[in-house]
Amino acid sequence: MLRPRCYDDIKAGRKSLEEIEYPYRWYESSIIKIVKNPVYLGHMINHKNITRSYKIKKRINIPLDEQIVVENTHEAMVDASTFEIANKMVKVKKKKDKNGQVHIFAGLLKCDKCGKNMVFTHPKSGRSLHPFYACSNAKRNGKAVCSYHYTRYDHLYKVVLNDIQKQVQYVKIGEDDYLQYLTKSNQKKQNDRIKTMTKERIKYSKRVTEIDLIIKRLYEDNVLEKITDERFMTMTKSFEKEQSNLKVLLEDLYSKLAEIEIKTLNSYQFRKLIKQYTEVTELTATLLKELVDKIVIHQSETMDGRKIQKIDIHYRFIGTI
C-alpha cells in the first residue's frame, strides 16, 4: 500500500510512481499516529494545536486531555475493541533482550505490592538457568522499597496458558452455562460488598429524608417565633451541611453499585471474546493483549513446606475469574 504522501503526489500529478523512492515503505511513527487517532472510531477531534500569537506562526500541539472530542460524527472504520487492543500494543515499549527477543508479557505484568512493572531478567550466575521476571522497583531501588516478586518465565507461561485454555474449554461446554459461571464468579466476589453498600445507601437515604423534615419543622418553629432567626440559621446551616455530605456519599455508592452491574453485563462481552478461540496451544503477544488487561504477581510464600505463588490474571471486561 502506498504511503499517504506518495498517494497525494501521484494523484496530484506532482510525481510518478517511478520517481518516488520506497513508495511502499511505511514508517513506524506514521502507523502509531494512525492507530492512536480516534477519528477512525467515528469521532471528530478539534482544538489540536494553536499559534502562540498572530506574530509567531509556529503551531503548538495541545495535550490530548485538553483537545475537544465530538463523538459519533461519522461512521467508524474500526470497532472500539480492536482500537483498544491496538493502542495497548503500541503503548508498550518493545525493548529487546540481549538475544533480540521482544517478550509477549511486556507491559502486562504488575507487582502486587507497589504496582510497578515486572521486568524480564536473564540469569547472571549458575544458580539458575531459567529466565525470570522481577519487580522493576525492587531492582532499581533495592529490597527496602519492595520485594523482588521473583517468578520464572516458564512457570508464568504455563500458569497463564493453562488458565486461558480452561476458559476456552468452559465456553465449549455451553455458552449459556459459561455466562452463568462468569456471572456467579463475579457475584460471589461482590456479594459482601453489595450488602454493605446497600445497607449504607438505605441508612444515608433515610437520614437525608429525616433532615428534610427537621429543616421543615425548624422553619415552622421560626415562623411561630419558637426559635430566633439566629438560632434557625445556625441549625439549618448545620443540617444542610450534613445533608450535602450524605448526598456526596450516596452518589459515590450509586456509582460503585452501577460499576458492579456493568461488570455483570461485561460477562457477555468476555464470553463473545473467548468463544472466538476454538483451541489455544501457545501464547502470543496479540492473544494476550486481546484477552488480558494485566497479570498481578504476588510475593511467593511457603506453606506446609511448599513454595506457593499467587498469580492474578485480570481478563478484559471482567477482571479476575
30 vs 202, more confident: 202
Work out whether the CA dihedral 117, 120, 123, 129 comes out positive or negative.
Answer: positive
Q: What is the mean pLDDT of residues 273-282?
A: 85
| The predicted structure's pLDDT at residue 66 | 76
Show the cell assigned to 275: 468463544
pTM, full prediction: 0.57
Which pLDDT score is estimated for 84?
74
Q: What is the percent of the chain where pLDDT is above 70?
A: 84
Mean pLDDT check: name the lowest of 12-26, 93-107, 120-134, 232-246: 93-107
The pLDDT of residue 260: 66
pLDDT computed for residue 175 by the predictor:
67
- pLDDT tens-place string over residues 188-219: 566 677 778 888 889 999 999 999 999 999 99
Neighbours of 288 (CB within 10 A): 20
Count other C-beta atoms under 10 Å from residue 20's C-beta: 16
The pLDDT value recorded for residue 89 is 65
Q: Which residues pair with 52 in a beta bridge?
A: none
Highest mean pLDDT out of 47-56, 98-107, 225-234: 225-234
